[in-house]
């Protein structure tokens, strides 16, 4: 608990918000390492879901896909600029409720959501605390789906090296270039100075305590997925 509290106390919400406000203004909403796995995430969404939550929705690229399968989606982001763009780009989706919010400060009714999704966001939060909170908010037989980054270890070296040429090829095929514009690179580099990630071993240890039976899987493009279905009582 002491370690969790230390992580929570170290979160600089204002800085994270400012970073993503800046990144929002540079957003092109095109292929990237996260959108590459949108199809995989959608396959995990329970059929006939009525209510879903996305944490860290950004400019809304994934939540619009989710809204085609779910009756109502609550989409949260810490960045007002991200939410502004998401609302503009999602004007035809009446079933999405966008809110500027810090998920740690919100209180959700127990078992409210049939599906909860987070893409490249939970590494900013104290993992044990947020997974416990989402576990409570998830309906029985609902599914929690997380895609995020992890801290590599020597055992991951082969996967990391194999990803480099594949990433270059995919980036060129999807966007017509092999790297981001300079200003985008600089914005991500500055933000990345403060990012920290769990190793997969650390994540699995937390899941054994909080989400028994969760499936944690390493993916090629520097991402992992966590999928957990809340069991019946």
Q: What pLDDT score was predicted for residue 44?
A: 98
Task: Dump pLDDT digits (tens) for 17-60.
Answer: 999 999 999 988 899 999 999 999 999 999 999 999 999 999 99
- The pTM score is 0.93
Judged against a pLDDT cut of 60, whether residue 10 lies above it is answered with no
Q: Kindly list the structural domains of the chain, giving each domain's residue range(s) and its CATH number in brackets, ordered by start.
A: 2-229 (3.40.50.150)
Tokens of 232: 């019946």
Using alpha carbons only, give the angle 95, 68, 57 rounded to the nearest 5 degrees: 70
- What's the whole-number mean pLDDT along residues 144-154? 96
Predicted confidence at residue 118, as pLDDT, reads 98
State the average pLDDT over residues 213-228. 97
Average pLDDT over residues 100-129: 96
Burial class of residue 74 (count of CB atoms within 10 Å of its CB; 0-12, 13-18, 19+):
buried
Dihedral class, residue 213 (left if φ above 0, else alpha if ψ from -120 to 50, else beta): left
* Mean pLDDT, residues 75-97: 97
User: What local confidence, expressed as pLDDT, does residue 27 receive?
Assistant: 86
Q: Please tell me the distance from the alpha carbon of residue 111 to that of residue 136, in angstroms, as a whole number.
A: 6
- What is the distance between the alpha carbons of residues 27 and 4, in angstroms, rounded to a whole number? 32
Distance separating alpha carbons of residues 166 and 95, to the nearest angstrom: 36
Encoding tokens for residue 68?
């085609």
Residues 170-190: pLDDT tens digits? 999 999 999 999 999 998 899
The confidence band for 65, taking pLDDT boundaries of 50, 70 and 90, is very high
Q: What is the pLDDT of residue 134?
A: 98
User: Model confidence over 119-133: pLDDT tens digits?
Assistant: 999 999 999 999 999
Per-residue pLDDT, 6? 41
Coil, strand or helix at 5:
helix
What order of strands is seen across the sheet that includes strand 223-229?
96-100, 72-77, 51-55, 113-119, 138-148, 223-229, 215-219
Q: Are 194 and 115 in contact (CB under 8 A)?
A: no
């Amino acid at each position: 608990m002491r370690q969790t509290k230390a992580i929570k106390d170290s979160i600089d919400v204002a800085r994270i918000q400012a970073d993503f406000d800046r990144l929002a203004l540079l957003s092109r909403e095109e292929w990237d390492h996260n959108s590459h796995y949108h199809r995989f995430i959608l396959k995990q969404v329970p059929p006939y879901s009525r209510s879903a939550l996305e944490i860290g929705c950004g400019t809304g690229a994934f939540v619009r896909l989710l809204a085609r399968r779910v009756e109502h989606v609550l989409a949260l982001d810490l960045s007002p600029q991200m939410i502004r763009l998401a609302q503009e780009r999602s004007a035809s989706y009446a079933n999405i409720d966008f809110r500027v919010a810090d998920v740690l400060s919100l209180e959700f009714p127990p078992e409210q959501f049939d599906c909860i999704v987070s893409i490249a966001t939970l590494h900013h939060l104290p993992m044990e605390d947020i997974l416990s909170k989402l576990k409570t908010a998830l309906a029985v037989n609902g599914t929690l789906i997380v895609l995020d980054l992890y801290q590599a270890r020597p055992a991951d070296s082969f996967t990391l090296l194999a990803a480099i040429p594949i990433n270059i090829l995919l980036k060129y095929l999807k966007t017509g270039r092999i790297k981001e514009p300079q200003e985008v690179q600089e914005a991500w580099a500055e933000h990345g100075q403060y990012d920290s990630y769990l190793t997969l071993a650390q994540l699995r240890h937390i899941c054994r305590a909080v989400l028994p039976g969760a499936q944690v899987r390493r993916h090629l493009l520097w991402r992992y997925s966590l999928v957990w279905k809340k069991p019946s009582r």
